[in-house]
């Protein structure tokens, strides 16, 4: 399982400084009082809403990436497999289930827990049906087997790719579900915390959230410059505030600083490699335990300039006057945006948080020109079919645009499926293909 690609080098000063920011992100749990409610949350729960209730949270998906990066995941996954969970299941899920089992045995985070700390016992869980089935089955399993606490799983649905979403009846049909589901989530939080939703606070939080996301989007757009001022190791580090901290001043400061740094680099035409030979687009989840893979690509002049995963997409204007409705509208508008790009491969993209997976056929045409793409790399994750399913279709569409693709297989959190030699071989062969294509 040992790999030369375990260590990842970031290029931006801002993301290097995350080492200082992240402990604060994780350690805030240490300051909690025993009686404070703690919510385990699934991505798809708007962090803004949690912030408005001032609820302490844990994010098992994020914890999965941390355990993967710290090589704690294999142990937790094996424990879950011992309980009867299939090795085919999402490794984030089995990582959590194994952790829960050990937590209950020890009465505290087990010794294998990464140094950033373990997840504390939940008093409630907020699941989400956004993206895939395992993301709500996960909390159902935790709630049945380990921590018997109340669960609310939101269930936003997206229209299929061939549906006319401009039909007002269809739009209202989906909005009704979304709006009442949001309200259900608020009612649940009110019940669990004994507090009413503070609309005024949510309004201010939304403003901060919009501000942070504005800087973040601008950063990502600047990567269309040649050479690209930023790569994937910075991207996959910098998504953490977007996923869990929007609505906080800290996130605004972080993305503003990043924006200034990337702007400066762009102005100076400063790339991240000496000679940028290949500009790539990335599809799928990254191998969190081997993010150095991106540095390996960079050593060969290949820079990833766009990632379809966790992408915030385009700017969406919000009217924060009714902040709950603003959250509903933001969710719908992003869903509609992705729908216009084509969602034949990834239909479950209605995410009440602030990002999505941008892969549509029509979008690829735009990205090819805007980002001057030479090739695509797709990570087929064995235990996450949802992020992998559709990659062959995307490869077919890219091939029509003259963009070659490499599909390679491993996992996002379980390093047992990784092989350095195989990945290197595939990467070399792929880069040669791009060379041949551009020579012919």
Partner 1 sequence: MNALKGLSRAREISQNREKRPFELREEGKTIIGYLCCFAPPEIIHAAGAVPYRITGRLGDSTSEVDSFLEPYGCPYVRNVFSQSLKGRLDFLQGLVISHSCDMVQRLYGIWTYYRPLPYSRLVNVPHQLFPWSQDFYQRELVFFKESLENYCGVTIDHEALKESISLYNRIRCSLQELYRLRGGKQPLLLSSELMEVLIAGEVLPPEEFLELLNEVIEEAGARKQPVNYGTRVLVWGSILDHPQLYRLIEKAGGQVVADDTCLGTRFWNQEVPAAGDPYESLKEHYLVNFQCPRTDRGTDPGRFAYLRDMARDFQAEGIIGYTISFCDPHKLDYPDLRDYLEKCGYPMLLIDDDYSLQNEGAITTRIQAFTEMLSGQA
Tokens of 309: 């995963």
Q: How far is the CB of 267 from partner 1 (least distance, A)?
A: 42
The residue range among 256-264, 316-324, 390-398, 429-437 that interacts with partner 1, by the rule CB under 8 A, is: 390-398
Binding residue for partner 1, selected from 17, 75, 121, 137, defined by CB under 8 A: 137
Q: How far is the CB of 123 from partner 1 (least distance, A)?
A: 14
Does residue number 121 form part of the binding site for partner 1 (CB under 8 A)? no
Does residue number 105 form part of the binding site for partner 1 (CB under 8 A)? no
Binding residue for partner 1, selected from 211, 253, 276, 344, defined by CB under 8 A: 344
Number of residues lying near partner 1 (CB under 8 A): 57
Does residue number 83 form part of the binding site for partner 1 (CB under 8 A)? yes
Q: How far is the CB of 91 from partner 1 (least distance, A)?
A: 13
Q: How far is the CB of 395 from partner 1 (least distance, A)?
A: 10
Does residue number 187 form part of the binding site for partner 1 (CB under 8 A)? no
Site string for partner 1, 192-231 (x = CB under 8 A): ----------------------------------------
Q: Find the binding residues for partner 1 in span 7-36 (CB under 8 A).
A: none
Does residue number 406 form part of the binding site for partner 1 (CB under 8 A)? no
The residue range among 71-79, 133-141, 266-274, 287-295 that interacts with partner 1, by the rule CB under 8 A, is: 133-141
Interacting residue ranges for partner 1, rule: CB under 8 A: 83-86, 88-90, 93, 129, 132-134, 136-141, 143-145, 148, 151, 153, 155, 157, 159-163, 169-170, 173, 176-177, 180-181, 184, 343-348, 380, 382, 385-386, 388-393, 396, 409
């Amino acid at each position: 399982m040992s790999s030369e690609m375990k260590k990842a080098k970031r290029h931006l000063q801002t993301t290097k400084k995350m080492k200082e920011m992240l402990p604060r992100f994780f350690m805030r749990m240490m300051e909690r009082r025993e009686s404070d409610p703690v919510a385990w949350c699934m991505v798809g729960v708007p962090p803004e809403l949690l912030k408005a209730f001032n609820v302490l949270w844990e994010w098992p998906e994020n914890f999965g990436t941390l355990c993967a990066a710290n090589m704690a995941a294999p142990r937790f996954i094996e424990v879950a497999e011992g309980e009867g969970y299939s090795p085919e299941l999402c490794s984030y899920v089995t990582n959590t289930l194994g952790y829960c089992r050990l937590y209950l045995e020890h009465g505290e985070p087990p010794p294998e827990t990464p140094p950033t700390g373990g997840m504390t016992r939940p008093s409630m869980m907020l699941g989400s049906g956004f993206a895939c089935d395992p993301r709500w089955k996960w909390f159902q399993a935790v709630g049945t087997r380990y921590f018997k606490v109340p669960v609310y799983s939101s269930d936003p649905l997206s229209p299929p790719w061939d549906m006319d979403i401009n039909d007002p009846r269809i739009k209202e049909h989906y909005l009704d579900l979304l709006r009442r589901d949001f309200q259900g989530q608020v009612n649940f939080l009110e019940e669990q915390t004994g507090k009413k939703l503070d609309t005024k606070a949510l309004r201010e939080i939304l403003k901060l959230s919009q501000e942070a996301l504005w800087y973040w989007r601008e950063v990502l757009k600047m990567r269309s410059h040649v050479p690209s001022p930023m790569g994937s190791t910075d991207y996959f580090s910098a998504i953490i505030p977007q996923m869990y901290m929007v609505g906080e001043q800290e996130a605004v400061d972080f993305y503003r600083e990043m924006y200034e740094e990337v702007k400066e680099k762009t102005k100076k035409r400063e790339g991240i490699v000496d000679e940028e030979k290949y500009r790539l687009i990335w599809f799928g989840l990254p191998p969190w335990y081997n993010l150095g893979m991106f540095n390996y690509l960079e050593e060969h002049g290949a820079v990833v300039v766009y990632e379809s995963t966790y992408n915030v997409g385009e700017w969406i204007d919000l009217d924060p006057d009714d902040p709950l409705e603003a959250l509903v509208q933001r969710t719908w508008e992003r869903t509609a945006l992705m729908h216009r790009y084509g969602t034949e491969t990834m239909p479950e993209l209605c995410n009440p948080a602030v990002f999505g997976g941008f892969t549509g056929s029509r979008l690829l045409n735009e990205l090819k020109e805007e980002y001057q793409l030479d090739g695509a790399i797709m990570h087929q994750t064995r235990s996450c079919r949802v992020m992998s399913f559709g990659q062959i279709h995307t490869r077919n569409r890219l091939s029509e645009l003259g963009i070659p693709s490499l599909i390679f297989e491993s996992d996002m959190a379980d390093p047992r499926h990784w092989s350095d030699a195989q990945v290197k071989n595939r990467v070399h062969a792929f880069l040669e293909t791009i060379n041949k294509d551009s020579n012919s």
